[in-house]
Amino acid sequence: MPKIIVKNMSNLQVKTEGNTTILTALQHSQVDWMHACGAKGRCTTCKAIILKGMNNLNAPNLHEKRFSQLGRLRKNERLSCQAELGEGELEIEVPNSSKLPHISYSY
Ligand code: FES
């Protein structure tokens, strides 16, 4: 079963059915994650830093390519509302810019 590990949330582990966006998988496990535009691919507040498992994600779509070209999404970052985990494991962290004030992050 595909799995997401959020390193700076004390190695929080979320299991997913696969072919699910990172954001949807997190939300199904009651994990709060910033997503200002409502998962429409129009902001970058939902971005995740990908530490391991980039190859287990779908290819970046038009929204992500646009933000990459604008310099708002680095090579090791994906929009959690657009990036889908197929199989395998993914290690991510929340960027400082997207940390929520009511959550204690481990770093
Ligand atoms: S929530 Fe806005 S791009 Fe993902």
Rg of the Cα trace of the chain? 12
Q: How far apart are CA 84 and CA 97, in angstroms?
A: 22
Which residue, judged by its Cα, is nearest atom 3 of ligand 1?
A: 41
Over the stretch 88-98, which tens digit does the pLDDT of each residue have? 999 999 999 99
Q: What is the mean pLDDT of residues 33-39?
A: 98
Asked if residue 101 belongs to a domain, the reply is no
pLDDT of residue 86: 94
Closest listed residue to residue 56, CA positions, set 82, 81, 84, 75: 84
Asked if residue 32 belongs to a domain, the reply is yes
Domain holding 58, by residue range, is: 3-94
CATH number at residue 56: 3.10.20.30
Over the stretch 44-100, which tens digit does the pLDDT of each residue have? 999 999 999 999 999 999 999 999 999 999 999 999 999 999 999 999 999 999 999
Centroid of ligand 1 to alpha carbon of 36 (angstroms):
6
**Contact present, 98 and 46 (Cβ < 8 Å):** yes
pLDDT of residue 13: 98
Centroid of ligand 1 to alpha carbon of 67 (angstroms):
11
CA-79 nearest atom, ligand 1? 4
pLDDT of residue 33: 98
Asked if residue 102 belongs to a domain, the reply is no
CA-82 nearest atom, ligand 1? 4
- Domains of the chain: total: 1
Ligand 1, CB cutoff 6 Å, lining residues: 35-37, 39-46, 79, 81
Is residue 23 helix, strand or coil?
helix
CA-41 nearest atom, ligand 1? 3
pLDDT band at residue 101 using 50, 70 and 90 as cut-offs: very high
Q: What is the mean pLDDT of residues 17-37?
A: 96
